[in-house]
Chain A
Amino acid sequence: MRIEEHPIIDFKRGKPVSFTFNERQIQAFEGETIAAALHAAGVRVLSHSHNLKRPRGFFCAIGNCSSCLMKVNGVYNVRICVTPVREGDRVEMQEGRGDIIAKA
């Protein structure tokens, strides 16, 4: 899914990093957002709608629309399309609105 050669752009990938998505190991490159890295790994379904459980993915990919919210390192409702991927990130699909009140 990654473009190897492009007629206009020379993609300089950052160093390889790995993270988990629902406990599955995924390889990515530093500089990518979590959404981009997941997409490159073939992950399109990022969540499900609250009532009818319809599959959802991202839409705008620049932080405007809230379609891509996931749980990252224990924090809910993270806009993964504007969040850079880091080594060891734990990304999980969240169901529902997530819990934003920190537990004591």
Chain B
Amino acid sequence: MQKPEIAIVGGGPAGLSAALSAVRQGAEVMLIDRDPALGGQLVKQTHMFFGSKKEYAAIRGIDIPGQLMAALEEDGKGKFAPVLNTTVLGYYDDGVILADREEEQAMLIKPQKTIIATGAAEKMLPFPGNDLPGVYGAGAVQTLMNVYGIKPGARVLMIGAGNIGLIVSYQLMQAGVEVAAIIEGAPKIGGYLVHATKVRRAGIPIKTSHTIKEAYGNKSVEGALICSLDENWCAVPGSELDMKVDVICLAVGLTPQTELLWQAGCEQKYIPELGGYVPLRNEKMQTSLPDLYVAGDVACIEEAGSAMVEGKIAGLYAAADLGYDENVEEHYSSFARELEELRGGPTGAKIKQGLSRLNGGVEQC
């Protein structure tokens, strides 16, 4: 049985940032990820990030894991151990983690503190024909295009005009794939408007108050019927449009992957603004179980920038609570300020509202 001081489940932006923060405090960290490489969803983000230049703004997502890993190699000498191709299957009552290592025996790990940074999974949308080959999640389309360099198809219907729908549409154009339209059920575009402007000048129509009625095709997607919605989100009769596409890409939201937290017995609450069921946490990103911390999309659906700052806080306190508490107040103040800045505008207001509801009216982190 392995007994690291801190185990971090998930090597995406939150997990990597947590690891860096923890090793800098002096703690020993084991970072476990199910993929063959670290970076989580960052490895597919070819676009420049927003946020503060002091963090990773104007740097492409794909370049961020390399920077974090270089820092980990430098600051984590002898203290940082990445464990790849390993899926954490459970977190048990006795604080033991069971992990499945590809083609090897299962691993048992008993850390003193654990940070869960497992991110989120894509939501599905119910409509007739949604099981046809060619109906793909936005992450799947990004994986094919940006990781394996393979076109998902020839002509795509994008469902969802949040940041993911807008960005992936832009990336499809960059990969040489036509985007027939972006449709969005809400009356307004949910993502950053500069992303929307970028795809409009590329000639991609954005149809708000529209939804998909059905997908059709013999062995795979050959087309879709879309229609417009009235102010009650009901289909407007006679408004159907036939879109000839071979890929229907769903970018309809993310759900935190909280399975391990449920199993561990963390208190969770359903907060729509934060993406669904999310764990209760304090300003240290500590859950109702004192040895379990969270960071990133599993804590609330937001941006990679905030995921990284939450990771820094979780890593800081997981280490500090083990006694590695040098300058903890100073570091925390600076991280909290960064998070407050990122959430200071209208786009962050929803998150703050959700967090306020989560904590029963007491606004924290």
Contact = CB atoms under 8 A, between A and B. Distances in A.
Contact of B150 (A2, A62, A63): A2
B131 A54 contact: yes
Interface in A15-35: 31-33
B245 to A, nearest CB: 14
Contacts, number: 94
A56 B145 contact: no
Contacts of B131: 49, 54, 56
A6 B122 contact: no
A56 B258 CA distance: 27
Contacts of A40: 148, 150
Contacts of B288: none
Nearest to A32: B148
A60 B140 contact: yes
A9 B146 contact: yes
A45 B219 contact: yes
Chain A contact residues, majority secondary structure: loop
A45 B149 contact: no
Interface string B134-157: 111101100111111111100000
A37 B218 CA distance: 22
Contact of B175 (A3, A32, A82): A3
A60 to B, nearest CB: 5
A8 B144 contact: no
B148 A57 contact: no
A59 B148 contact: no
A61 B149 contact: no
B149 A9 contact: yes
Given A33-B148, A39-B150, A61 B34 contact: no
A44 B137 contact: no
Contacts of A45: 133, 219-220
A3 B124 CA distance: 27
Contacts of A46: 133
Contacts of A63: 34
A68 to B, nearest CB: 10
A76 interface: no
A62 B148 CA distance: 12
Contact of A3 (B137, B151, B257): B151
Contacts of B60: 8
A73 interface: no
Interface in B220-271: 220, 257
B68 interface: no
11 contacts: A2-B149, A3-B176, A6-B174, A6-B175, A9-B149, A32-B150, A33-B148, A55-B132, A55-B133, A59-B140, A62-B140
List of 4 A-B pairs having minimum Cβ-Cβ separation, nearest first: A57-B133, A61-B140, A11-B149, A44-B133
